């Protein structure tokens, strides 16, 4: 049943009529007043956007989203700002306010290309630091300082200095999911889309890979280079296991299973394809499987589904609590108040930039970005 609500705030009528379905209206109080009211102007400016997210946002909740979307898009123009949105952002952020969307490598490259004065990183803190390292003269903002990462917090600059003492002369490849201080102690960075290529680019028989143990193991299975791994894990991908995959296949005959290389190697072995978030997205767009499972963060399937309405997504997934700290509301606050600015001390930024730039300067990874699920399994040292 549909009923009409009259909205009052602080004893004043604020001029909105909201259609509420099923007796529920989830509007946060702030969207009912002032700049964030669902006015006729906002409605006219945003009505066409609703179709993009109609599968994820019930119609009756749209009046809570539209004013924020409209205000954010206006603020971006007024302040010459861009939003770099990671593939794990929720569909409202990804489809309605993100200017550049992609995996960690893609967003880092976009940061180097933009003319905008302000970069809003709709992602986690290490990504914002990467943008700041690459663009020291730009203002880099993150909507929530709580958007961390279990991998980035698994290793410190002190750990890196100890590793170097213990393994002198062995180059260190650092996954970008690490703090600026850790990147500063490294020879070259990598992302999930170029990790094998980066390791092989060094032309040495042995490297240390930090901080993701599973990424390191998946890389080791793809290369003749000996890998020593750090024991960090992504709390999202480490939770998938091989038996789950077998159960999912049994329950969904013919389903195509795609995994992220932060998953354990036995999960990769049970999957049909493994690659970065962009590689997974490209796989679905290029191959159009009838039904597919993405073993990764939950918003990924939503975002890939928007571009592939003919593909059926089976959705076992794990939420990243850090990525989910980023909301339309705190993106809006971040732009209005130009908070929270991410700064990296010059000395650290200079050293970290060398390692990130060295990675960016490599040619596009191409097929080197994919992990062959059927590659053999190697036991490697984990420190």
- Please count the CA atoms within 13 angstroms of the CA of 325 that sit on its side-chain side: 16
Q: Which of ligand 13P, ligand SF4, none is residue 150 near (CB under 5 to 8 Å by kind)?
A: ligand SF4
Alpha-carbon span 259 to 270, nearest angstrom: 9
CB of 127 to ligand SF4, least distance (A): 8
Angstrom distances, CA of residue 113 to CA of 107, 172, 278, 365: 10, 27, 19, 19
- What is the closest distance, in whole angstroms, from the C-beta atom of residue 234 to ligand SF4 in the complex? 3
Cβ 257 to ligand 13P shortest distance, Å: 17
CB of 363 to ligand 13P, least distance (A): 18
CB 154, min distance to ligand SF4, A: 10
d(CA 127, CA 62): 29
> Is 277 one of the binding residues for ligand SF4 (CB under 6 A)?
no
Q: Count residues binding ligand 13P (CB under 6 A).
A: 12
Question: From ligand 13P, ligand SF4, none, which one binds at residue 87 (CB under 5 to 8 Å depending on kind)?
Answer: ligand 13P
Closest CA to 152 of 220, 229, 83, 235: 235
Residue 301 interacts with which of ligand 13P, ligand SF4, none, CB < 5 to 8 Å by class: none
**Which of helix, strand or coil describes residue 362?**
coil
Residues in the chain: 383
Is the backbone of residue 338 left (phi > 0), alpha (psi -120 to 50) or beta? left
| Assigned token pair, 269 | 């072995």
Report CA torsion sign: 127, 129, 134, 136. Answer: positive
Q: Using CB under 6 A, which residues numbered 56 to 115 contact ligand 13P?
A: 87, 103-105
Give least dist CB 178 to ligand SF4, A: 10
At residue 97, the 3 state secondary structure works out as coil
Q: Which of residues 116-135 bind ligand SF4 (CB under 6 A)?
A: 124
Among 135, 141, 234, 284, binds ligand SF4 (CB under 6 A): 234
Task: Name the one residue in this structure whose structure tokens are 């390292």.
Answer: 133
Nearer to ligand 13P, 279 or 348 (CB): 279
248-267 footprint of ligand 13P as x/- string (CB under 6 A): --------------x-----
- Quote the least distance from Cβ 144 to ligand SF4, whole Å: 12
C-alpha span between 59 and 47 (Å, rounded): 11
Q: Is 191 in the site for ligand 13P (CB under 6 A)?
A: yes
Q: Are 146 and 119 in contact (CB under 8 A)?
A: no
- For ligand 13P, the binding residue among 121, 144, 192, 221 (CB under 6 A) is 192
The CA distance from 44 to 199, in Å, is: 51
Binding site for ligand 13P (CB under 6 A): 87, 103-105, 124, 177, 191-192, 234, 262, 276-277
Binding site for ligand SF4 (CB under 6 A): 124, 149-151, 177, 234-236, 262, 297, 320, 322-323
């Amino acid at each position: 049943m549909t009923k009409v609500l009259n909205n009052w705030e602080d004893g004043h009528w604020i001029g909105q009529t909201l259609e509420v379905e099923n007796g529920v209206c989830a509007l946060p109080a702030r969207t009912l007043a002032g700049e964030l009211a669902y006015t006729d102007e906002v409605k006219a400016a945003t009505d066409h956007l609703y179709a993009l997210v109609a599968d994820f946002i019930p119609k009756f909740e749209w009046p809570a989203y539209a004013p924020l979307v409209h205000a954010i898009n206006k603020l971006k123009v007024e302040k010459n700002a861009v939003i770099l949105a990671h593939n794990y952002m929720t569909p409202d952020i990804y489809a309605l306010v993100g200017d550049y969307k992609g995996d960690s490598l893609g967003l880092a490259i976009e940061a180097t290309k933009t003319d905008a004065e302000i970069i809003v990183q709709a992602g986690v803190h290490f990504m914002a630091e990467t943008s700041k390292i690459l663009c020291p003269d730009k203002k880099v903002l993150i909507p929530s300082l709580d958007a961390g990462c279990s991998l980035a917090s698994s290793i410190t600059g002190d750990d890196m200095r100890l590793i170097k003492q213990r393994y002198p002369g062995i180059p260190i490849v650092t996954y970008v999911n690490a703090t600026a201080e850790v990147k500063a102690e490294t020879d070259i960075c990598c992302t999930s889309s170029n990790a094998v290529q980066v390791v092989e680019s060094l032309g040495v028989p042995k490297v240390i890979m930090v901080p993701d143990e599973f990424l390191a193991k998946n890389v080791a299975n793809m290369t003749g280079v000996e890998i020593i791994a750090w024991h960090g894990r992504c709390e999202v991908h480490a939770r998938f296991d091989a038996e789950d995959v077998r159960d999912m296949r049994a329950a969904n005959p013919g389903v195509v299973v795609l995994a992220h290389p932060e998953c354990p190697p036995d999960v990769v072995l049970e999957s049909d394809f493994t690659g970065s978030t962009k590689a997974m997205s490209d796989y679905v767009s290029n191959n159009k499987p009838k039904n597919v499972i993405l073993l990764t963060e939950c918003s990924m399937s939503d975002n890939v589904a928007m571009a592939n309405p003919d593909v059926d997504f089976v959705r076992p997934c794990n939420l990243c609590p850090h990525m989910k700290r980023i909301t339309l509301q705190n993106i809006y606050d971040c732009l209005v108040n130009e908070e929270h600015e991410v700064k990296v001390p010059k000395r650290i930024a200079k050293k970290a930039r060398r390692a990130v730039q060295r990675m960016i300067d490599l040619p596009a990874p191409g097929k080197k970005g994919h992990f062959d699920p059927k590659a053999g399994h190697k036991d490697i040292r984990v420190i």
